[in-house]
Structure 1
Amino acid sequence: MIGLVGIVIIFVMVFGGYMLAGGKLGIILKALPFEMIMIGGAAIGAFVISNDGAAIKHTLKDVGRVFKGPKWKHEDYRDLLCLLFELIRIARANPIAVEEHIEAPAESSVFGKYPKIQSDAEAVALICDTMRAASMNYDDPHQVEEVLDKRMEANRHHAEHSIHALQSVADGLPALGIVAAVLGVIKTMGSIDQPPEVLGKMIGGALVGTFLGVFLAYGFVGPFAAKLKTVIEEDLHFHQLIREVLIANLHRHAPNICIEVGRQNTPGHNRPGFTELEAALKATKDAA
């Protein structure tokens, strides 16, 4: 919602200020379709050239996240801590009993309590792979930590591809606007015998290209890339929390201490309160 508000503000302030200063929209509106075809079409073509099919689909899908915001909310972090607590507690009491949950998470009664987390393939894989390594006595915390760091770095690199793709388009739009403007000037020079009022409109129409390229780059595509970066970084905190809790578990800290480590590493605006989390963990124990 706030993204739509930002778009409205951009249009109102830019074009409202232009009209208040005495500008006429007629020249812009007349030239806009043709300039948009040249600039927008060239930007789309460059985007297609520089990305493969999977990256194009990924980027288009990620554009929606600009308006939806981060996937993981306050209650999801609380649920994740409760899920990890229950799995750690089961593994400490009976390492064999936890296998049915980490080997078949889609059928697990523990994962089933948290369907949103269960539906996230990477979050589930991080939990199950790390706990499986611990059950195989691959329990050197430093080795596991290194493996997790490399895996999460690879995930980050993949997730940020959309950011780089959008930023590349934003960087190229001003230059494409100049290309469209130059073509407009060429067209104007072909009509140099026309009276000044006609030439003035043609030159104004040509300059719409420069305006449009800069406007789209710094008013829309660039901010979209910046917002997407914020959303992706915040969602990656969810996986980072899994790492912190499970590494603490490998250090053989008490389950409550492992969960507190995770709580302290949760972003402040999503961090559950100590009392709130204690109540949730107590409910988890009582339900077991």
Structure 2
Amino acid sequence: MVVILGYAVSLGCIFGVYVFHGGNIKVVLEALPFELVTIFGGALGAFAVANQPKVLKATLKLIPQALKSSKYTKARFLSLLALLYDILQKARKDGLMSIEQDVENPHDSGLFNKYPDLAHDHHVVEFITDYLRMMVTGNLNAHEIENLMDSEIDTHHDEAHEPVAAIGRLAGALPAFGIVAAVLGVINTMGSVGQPPSVLGGMIASALVGTFLGILLAYAVVEPLGGLLDQKAQDGGKELQCIKTTLLASMQGYNPATAIEFGRKVLFSTERPSFIELENHVRGRK
């Protein structure tokens, strides 16, 4: 909703002021379809050439998420920390082997199914269970697991930012394609030099619409979209860092309550629950 409202305000102010100052919106509307095909067609073709199929697929999958509110809320992080607490508490009370079945079959686990939003997020479940499995087997120490976690989080970061970077490159290309459309319009105008000034004026105005649209689409539509998706990608990485910090604290000997406090501290302040909120939530889930 905020995205749509933002676009409405941006475009409304731009075109509203133009009309208010006596601009002829009809000139823009008449040139709009042809200029859009030239600019967007050229840009999307170049976009397809510049990116691998996996990036194109990831970008198409990511764009609709911009219209949805972020799933990385305080409530989600409360559930995540409570889940980690439950797992670590069970392991501390009954031994690491007691969580083996939860790790091997998380979808049938009572621990994971207490938190359905997390249980259906395969990235989170896989990240947690992979490292719990290593903790159960005891083949790696905390430093080795930390290095492995960092490598996986870096990979996740790179994958999450590939479509964002692709959108950024698209935004950067749009003004250039707007210039291409304008130059083609000028060429067309120069081929009609014998026409009356009123006709030539209209043709030049249509050509300039191309430059205008290229800049408008880049900086009022596509680049803000890329910025929003970049922020959401950072939120996803922060979730993995929270899991990492909590599990490592547990491996270093801290009790579950203290371990989840380590995890809580790495969250952004806007989504981070307070100590009391987390404590009450954990107690309420018992």
TM-score range, shorter chain: over 0.9
Aligned pair count reads 285
AA partner of residue 144 (structure 2): Q
The reply to whether residue 67 of structure 1 matches residue 79 of structure 2 is no
Q: Which moved more, 1:134-143 or 1:181-190?
A: 134-143
SS at match of 2:11: helix
Judge conservation of contact 1:167–1:222 (CA < 8 Å) in 2: yes
| Per-residue deviation, 1:283 | 2.9
C-alpha RMSD of the superposition = 1.2
The reply to whether residue 237 of structure 1 matches residue 243 of structure 2 is no
Superimposed CA distance per residue, residues 234-255 of structure 1 (whole angstroms, 9 cap, x where no aligned partner): 1221111001100101101111
Matches within 5 A, 1:1-288: 1-93=1-93, 94-285=95-286
AA partner of residue 29 (structure 1): L
TM-score norm. by structure 1 comes to: 0.96
Distance 2:209 2:104 in 1: 60
| Per-residue deviation, 1:276 | 2.1
Distance 1:58 1:139 in 2: 33
TM-score norm. by structure 2 comes to: 0.97
AA partner of residue 145 (structure 2): V
| Per-residue deviation, 1:71 | 1.9
Distance 2:147 2:158 in 1: 17
Judge conservation of contact 1:65–1:231 (CA < 8 Å) in 2: no
AA partner of residue 21 (structure 2): A
AA partner of residue 9 (structure 1): V
SS at match of 2:32: helix
AA partner of residue 210 (structure 1): T
| Per-residue deviation, 1:69 | 3.3
| Per-residue deviation, 1:139 | 4.4
Q: Which moved more, 1:107-116 or 1:133-142?
A: 133-142
SS at match of 1:269: coil
Distance 2:178 2:284 in 1: 60
Gaps of 5+ in 1: none
AA partner of residue 44 (structure 1): L
| Per-residue deviation, 1:126 | 1.2
